[in-house]
Amino acid sequence: MITLMKYLVKLMGMIIPAVIAVSCIVPYEPEELVNMEDIIVVEGNISLTGPFTIRVSRSAPISTFQSGQRTVKYERNARVYVRDSHGDLYQPYNRTAEGEYLFDFSAQGPDQELEYQLVVESLDGNTYESDMRKARHSSNMELHYVVDTLAEKMTIYVNSYDVTDQSKHYNWKFTETWDYVSQLAAYTFFDVFEVKSTENKRPWNHRCWNSQQSFEILLEETSALAEDRIRNLEIHSINFRDIRITQHYIIEVTQTVLDSDAYNYLENMRKNSNDIGELFSPQPNEISGNIRCVTDPDTRAIGFVSVCNSVTKRLLIDCKGLPGYVREPMPEDTLMSLKADISSLIDLHSMGYSPHMIDALMGVSHWNLTRCIDCRSKGGTPVVPVFWPVEWPWF
């Protein structure tokens, strides 16, 4: 799901050019947008049934985006906690440098009949609260995928059905994780002073893992349908040529059932993000959400925090056999004598080459492009995710 900060950046970038385009004399810049600085932005939902993340950051004025300064201002050291209607508090178990506060109090057996709210005590002395809400029921879901050879893509679908007819408003987020291998497996590496063979014949940085979260706002409403059922809703697709589906792929999907006002809040954001800031799109003052500054009512905040019983499932896909992305042509190996001086090896390495094989009989090491040998050059790391299946390769 796209973050609120990314949404604000995009919204600001769309509104100002649009206003300038329709103004024949003097460009009109709404003061509310020009001065939209240091407004608390809260992202995330409270879950009573599993882990959840709350991100807290601050908005920046339009001028910073016009000048190319897009640094997000994270609120890293706020006091963030959840409070129920009995006054009991639930604290995060960790926080990150990106302003994320990590919670999981499901093992404490939170009462489903109580109301809950998020509280943010910022460093500027202000306190922000969401409104008190009861947890929404979340129906179960199933995931499946279809390989479309004609369209050359793999598509992931979700099915959901609530027999109680209580869900109605759905929101999905997902995290995808994949492994991939380098173009050439190397059984040697350069350790700054010499070319060495790897231990136990394991390739050097040959397999990497990468991960990313969904960036779109995924919503669906069943209020107008005869039954509260979702069939074969596409939530993601990947082209055959994408590196993500060359080896193995895991998608973890979280389904959340929203209140109608929470759904409308996200729908407004989605429309603003997708409709290129049309004239009658909801404006920033319409999307503040349910976060309020209780210490200073005149201080604005942006965000909508729901309370939910989310359902999370993983879909594991073995992608072997799919065409895979097109790899670049590799040059002929560069041969270096095993007696070559260290400066020659350093020079070759600095030119973007790495060794991948030693030929002891010929007395040489074989070198080729590092980006074709070291899987880290494609953005991943050789660190195996803790949930990686034991039956899939680990190196």
Q: 192-234, pLDDT tens digit by residue?
A: 889 999 999 899 999 999 999 998 999 999 988 888 899 999 9
pLDDT at 269 over 90: no
DSSP 170-216: EEEEEEEEEEEE-SS--SEEE-SSSEEEPGGG--SS-EEEEEEE--S
Containing H/E element for 39?
Answer: none
Q: Please tell me the distance from the alpha carbon of residue 86 to that of residue 20, in angstroms, as a whole number.
A: 52
Report yes or no: 248 and 318 within 8 Å, Cβ to Cβ. Answer: yes
* Single-letter residue type at 125: G
Q: Please tell me the distance from the alpha carbon of residue 394 to that of residue 292, in angstroms, as a whole number.
A: 47
pLDDT at 275 over 90: no
Express each pLDDT in 49-83 by its tens digit.
889 999 999 987 644 444 455 557 899 999 999 99
Mean pLDDT of the chain: 86
With CA atoms as reference, report the closest residue to 130 among 261, 269, 285. 261
Structure-model confidence comparison of residues 247 and 274, the more confident one: 247
* Single-letter residue type at 26: V
Q: Within a 10 A sphere around the Cβ of 270, how many other Cβ atoms?
A: 17
pLDDT at 29 over 70: no
Report yes or no: 230 and 277 within 8 Å, Cβ to Cβ. Answer: no
Q: What is the pLDDT of residue 274?
A: 65
Q: Please tell me the distance from the alpha carbon of residue 23 to that of residue 16, in angstroms, as a whole number.
A: 11
Report yes or no: 165 and 147 within 8 Å, Cβ to Cβ. Answer: no
* Single-letter residue type at 155: T
With CA atoms as reference, report the closest residue to 164 among 114, 222, 110, 232. 222
How do 291-293 and 188-190 pair as beta strands?
unpaired
Percent of the chain with pLDDT over 70: 84
Report yes or no: 42 and 55 within 8 Å, Cβ to Cβ. Answer: yes
How do 229-239 and 153-161 pair as beta strands?
antiparallel
Q: Please tell me the distance from the alpha carbon of residue 116 to that of residue 114, in angstroms, as a whole number.
A: 7
**Residue 385: DSSP 8-state:** P
Q: What is the pLDDT of residue 324?
A: 73
Express each pLDDT in 92-133 by its tens digit.
999 999 999 999 999 999 999 999 999 999 988 999 999 999
Residue-range domain boundaries for the chain: 4-135+260-305
Q: What is the pLDDT of residue 37?
A: 66
Question: How many helical (H) and strand (E) elements, i.e. helices and strands, does the chain have?
Answer: 6, 27
- Give the pLDDT band (50/70/90) at residue 27: very low
* Single-letter residue type at 29: E
Beta-carbon contacts of residue 307 (< 8 Å; ≥ 6 apart)? 45, 46, 48, 115, 116, 133, 134, 135, 136
